[in-house]
Amino acid sequence: MPELSFQYPTWFFVFCALLGLGYAALLYYRDTTFKEQSVWLRRTLFFLRWLVITLLSALLLSPLLKKNITEIKKPVIAMLQDQSESIGTALEGESLNQYKQNWQSLRDALSEQYEVHELSFGDEVRDGVNFEFKDKVSNISEALRDVYDRYGAQNLGAIVLSSDGIYNEGSSPSYSGVPIAAPVYTVALGDTTPKKDLILKRVFHNNIVYLGDKFTMQIDVAANNCSGAQTVLNIGKRDGDNITSIQTIPVNVTGKDFFVTKTVELEAKTPGVAQYVISLVKIPGEATTVNNTKEIFIDVLDARQKILLLANGAHPDISALRQMLEMNKNYAVSIANANDPGLDVGKYDFVVLHSLPSRTNEATGILRTLNDKRIPRLFITGMQTNFTALSQAQGLVSAQSDAVQSDEVQGYFAKQFAAFNLAPRVIEELPKFNPVQCPFGNFGATTQAQVVLRKRIGKVDTDQPLLAVGETNGIKTGIFLGEGLWKWRLFDYLQHQNHDIFDEIMGKTVQFLSVKEDKRKFRVTLDKTVFNENEPVQFGGELYNDNYELTNDPDVAMAVKNQQGREFTYTFNKQGKAYTLDAGILPVGNYTYHSTTAFNGQQLSFDGRFSVRPLQLEFFETTANHAALRQLSEQYGGATVSADGLAGIADLIKNKATIKPVIYQTSQTNPIINLKWIFAILAALLALEWFLRRYFGAY
């Protein structure tokens, strides 16, 4: 029953009654209107007014109705079933049917007293169990964490986890650190008897290599109970249905538990996604050959930027820049002299001109080629630079110098610069670096320049630019007004035992100048070009109008074609101002795609490629790991049973004293002033008083 309480002392209610009594007496005690009527009428009106005023003033005391609610929560039992492929090999035919019956019996037995939830885990944790065993990975730790996230705040009584103990994703379940305060009962599936088996365990390789590079694979080969056997490791390259053998390596198994790592060196000869097949030849009596083969995909890119370091003559700055640039695998660096015969600067993506144009070589033809092919460039000046020709060759800095005298100059960061970011440590340390040699003269930045570094001469910070970047005639250009960069790189190493500061300043400058802007109005993007077979392939799309503003007014169609020529058609979804497409999970293989749209009377298209690789983790460990399950149960105070003893877990749970219902009692308070029927009563009392007064002749 609800209890009535007040936020003020109860005896305050006496003042409410006195207030009502005084108000009623003032109104009716000396009133002669109803003197001719019966006595009961005036007393009734007096009582009604007293009651209304008393109740209204009592509401000012904030009376509350307090109600205690009792709720009994059954313990939650989470039943987790491993749905990975390795379980499918352990449960087949009659054993699977019997297992389903035992699972059903356990669920029914527990449902009488407990709140039972069935969950599947493998690639992900999901509701329900279908016993199809198609998941490509098994992550027991993630399953336990998901249960904790779902039911950790509830009355979690116990967890029933059915698995073979093999996990190939996530951490060891015993070291997952999930703070579950409930026993874990594990059901041990699969066979722990080691079989005669060759296993191609892992292949370590780069996902991306560059055309013409040599790269290595490290291949881990294991064998169980195959002592004395001989096999051959084959490395082949797949082209459609054809596999061309590249290398063969004999493998002699020398022990019962055998493991060896083989290293293979290959060359990336053609661009595109290269599909390699690594396999072990079957030996007599081998239990399974599914784990003898592994296919890998390597994206061979022909996108390395070609950078030319072009010098007026030999200089240590060139070596410093070369060492910095070659740290970036995206760059192919070449060095040349401006007077070299047969020099073709037009085949490069970015050119660094050191002391060019010079007093002996104005490099007119070189600069013309760079301008015609719109190749970005970085000028580095020196005491041999022809500053008159340099001023005409770029529009970032106006330079007047005869390069006869020089200044010792340090650099400091220009605060207004925002084209790219430099680390705070770089900005702080750079002014301490050794000075570089700058020709004496008048130098000023134009409106097209974004000044990165300014000159510090002695202890005076000047406004003269030392390093500037920008665009002249739509071509990205940079200029460094000094020579002696090698001093910066050497000083950086002497002070910090690395070249991080020098590499960040010059590396980001080159990256900013050399990056190619994508001016296409229609493009389709993928987060990656190689997907696992259990991953959905998701596309993004962008369409720009003539002002390069995003729009998605027209529809975008896409055709995806597999190796066999079969075509799948899709239409992009519109999201915000862009496009999205989830093509779903596709079969293993190489694919090409062709996307099209029509906009402003133009037919626009975008082509690309991607690959789906097989995920065979479940076949590289075939021996059940029941020890991991027993360790998990012991850690959480449960027990481990076999598949035949699955139904018996119900008795173990019922006999566990800690698994019992929890009584939750809560207090619910509700201010009486929120009750609408209170106002209805007050209105009715006032209406009755008004009616009686009117009926008997009063106003």
CATH number at residue 388: 3.40.50.880
Domain limit, last residue, from 514, 532, 552: 514
The residues facing 247 across adjacent strands are: 235
pLDDT tens per residue, range 436-466: 999 888 888 888 889 999 999 888 888 899 9
**Which is more confidently placed, 557 or 395?**
557
Residue 157 lies in a domain: yes
Q: Are residues 508 and 528 in the same domain?
A: no
Establish if 27 belongs to a structural domain: yes
445 and 560 in a single domain? The answer is no
Residues 371 and 388 in one domain: yes
Residues 101 and 167 placed together within one structural domain of the fold = yes
Backbone angles phi, psi at 372, to 5 degrees: -65, -40
- Nearest in space to 504 (alpha carbons), one of 574, 562, 420: 420
Q: Given its phi and psi angles, is residue 240 left (phi above 0), alpha (psi -120 to 50 degrees) or beta?
A: left
What CATH number does the domain containing 133 carry?
Answer: 3.40.50.410
Would you state the pLDDT for residue 556? 94
**648 found inside a domain:** no
Q: Which of 528, 524, 526, 532 is nearest to 589 (CA)?
A: 532
* Residue whose structure tokens are 């007040």: 6
Which pLDDT score, from 0 to 100, does residue 520 have? Answer: 79
**pLDDT value of residue 32:** 66
Report in angstroms the alpha-carbon separations of 7 from 51, 56, 64, 671: 21, 16, 8, 10
Question: Is residue 152, in this structure, part of any structural domain at all?
Answer: yes
Q: In terms of domains, do 149 and 243 share one?
A: no
Specify whether 339 is located in the same domain as 478.
yes
Residues 344 and 486 in one domain: yes
Q: Average pLDDT for residues 643-661, to the nearest whole number?
A: 88
- Domain of residue 567, CATH code: 2.60.40.1930
Report the number of secondary-structure helices (H) and strands (E) in the chain. 14, 37
- How many CB atoms lie under 10 A from the CB of residue 312? 22
| List of long-range contacts for 584-588, beta carbons under 8 Å, 24+ apart | 584/536, 584/537, 585/533, 585/534, 585/535, 585/536, 585/537, 586/531, 586/533, 586/537, 586/560, 586/562, 586/612, 587/533, 587/562, 587/612, 588/295, 588/533, 588/612, 588/613, 588/614
Q: Which SS3 state, helix, strand or coil, does residue 636 take?
A: helix
User: What rounded mean pLDDT belongs to the chain?
Assistant: 86
- Same domain assignment for residues 100 and 182: yes
For 421-441, the DSSP string reads ---HHHHHHGGGSPPEEEESS
Give the model's confidence band at 175: pLDDT under 50 very low, under 70 low, under 90 confident, else very high: confident
Q: Cβ of 238: how many Cβ atoms within 10 Å?
A: 17
Residue 287 domain flag: no
Tell whether 379 is covered by a domain: yes
Let me know if residue 570 belongs to a domain: yes
Range of the domain at 230: 197-267+294-301
Apex CA 17: angle with CA 15 and CA 21, to 5°?
Answer: 115
Among 210-224, 283-297, 608-622, 672-686, the range scoring the smallest mean pLDDT is 608-622
With CA atoms as reference, report the closest residue to 162 among 135, 188, 132: 188
Q: Specify whether 85 is located in the same domain as 9.
A: no
283, 301, 319 — which closes off a domain? 301
Residue after which a domain boundary falls, among 466, 496, 514: 514
Map tokens 């000012």 to a residue. 60
pTM over 0.85: no
Q: Are 329 and 363 within one domain?
A: yes
Domain match, 367 and 309 both = yes
Q: Which of 30-34, 252-256, 406-410 has the lowest mean pLDDT?
A: 30-34
- Name the residue type at position 697: G
CA distance 586 to 399: 60
pLDDT at 65: 79
Number of domains present in the structure of the chain: 5
**Would you say residue 649 lies in a domain?**
no
Q: Does residue 627 share a domain with residue 534? A: no
